[in-house]
Amino acid sequence: MSAYNHGKYISRCLDSVLMQKTNFAFEVVIGEDCSQDNTRDIIIEYANKYPEIIKPFLPEKNIGMMQMDVATFPLCKGQYLALLNGDDEWTDENKLQIQTDLLDSDKGISMCYHQSKVIDEITGQEWDTEFTGEGNELSVEKLFLGFNPIMTASVMCRNIGALPEWYEELPYGDMPLYLILSEMGKISYIDKVMCRYRIHAAGNWQGDSLKSNLLKDLKYYNFINKKFGFRYNSFISKILALRYFSLVLLSLRNDNPAEAKHYYKSLLISDTGFLISHKKDILDLFKILYENEDKEMFNELINTDPGWKIS
């Protein structure tokens, strides 16, 4: 587990772990990253009350989300790891047992996850996640649809020990972990809601700007493409094209044509299929950027929201 400024949620999170009914012992390794609220105090209180279960990792200074993952993974001694962030919670008292039984039953499964209840505290909406795989298995290709189909709090995986040295260079840690695990075995799905995943303004993704999140994705997919020997380039190139397209439009909305040209050049060398399917839009952007046509004539295009998913 990791927690940062989760004082509002951390008690419910830890209580949801402590309520688990299992035929095995488990421990909670939780990294608290020098929160500015009372998160650390609450964790210490729980650790004092449940010293055999709660094992806090408390750095003296903020080390960051990715560095926290790298620091805490080797501290986990169990055969399996169940992931959870301090602002989420488990809702089924049998969650750990159900997932452990599944992993025990098939050594070819490297990771399993389940349906989640998503609570958007920004909009007030709630919904259950949808399975994007086939049968009860998620293929590696489904990790390259331009969005994360797996909520962190739903994951249990085999303990792979220390994370790769390059892991902390990435902007976020869930997707690369799933990719690593997908190359070690199957990813299985359990069709049952057993956790709540929260979206709120202070989240790592929701608390950042659109541009910052688009740039995070560019960094992630370019890095992963190289690190995995371009094995997934046919999928990644489509995602990169969509991100560059989004950045061109965003730059034009922000009246920054120089920046728009920068991303447009990257767009042109990204994915042939994307360029063909968006030929008219690509040509219209050329007219705006290089033929000085009035961008007001292309307001509908410029204000388009391309979204995050690739088709």
Distances (CA, A) of 221 to 22, 138, 171, 214, 248: 38, 19, 10, 11, 18
Backbone φ, ψ for residue 29 (5° rounding): -90, 115
Backbone φ, ψ for residue 218 (5° rounding): -60, -45
Query: What integer pLDDT is reported at residue 200 of this predicted model?
Result: 81
Q: Whole-prediction pTM value?
A: 0.93
Task: Quick: pLDDT tens for 33-90.
Answer: 999 999 999 999 999 999 999 999 999 999 999 999 999 999 999 999 999 999 999 9
pLDDT band at 207 (very low <50, low <70, confident <90, very high): low
Cα atoms in the 13 Å half-sphere on the side-chain side of 284:
17
Which residues partner with 54 through β-bridges? 28
From the candidate CATH numbers 3.30.1360.20, 3.50.50.60, 3.90.550.10, 3.40.1380.10, the one assigned to the domain spanning 2-199: 3.90.550.10
> Long-range contact list for 117-120, CB < 8 A, 24+ apart?
117/91, 117/193, 117/195, 117/196, 117/197, 118/151, 118/196, 118/197, 118/198, 118/199, 119/196, 119/197, 119/198, 119/199, 120/199
pLDDT band at 15 (very low <50, low <70, confident <90, very high): very high
Structural domain boundaries of the chain? 2-199, 210-302
Task: Quick: pLDDT tens for 210-255.
Answer: 999 999 999 999 999 999 999 999 999 999 999 999 999 999 999 9
- Mean pLDDT (the chain, rounded): 95
- Give the C-alpha separation, 218 to 281, whole Å: 21
Task: Quick: pLDDT tens for 147-157.
Answer: 999 999 999 99
Mean pLDDT for the stretch of residues 108-115: 98
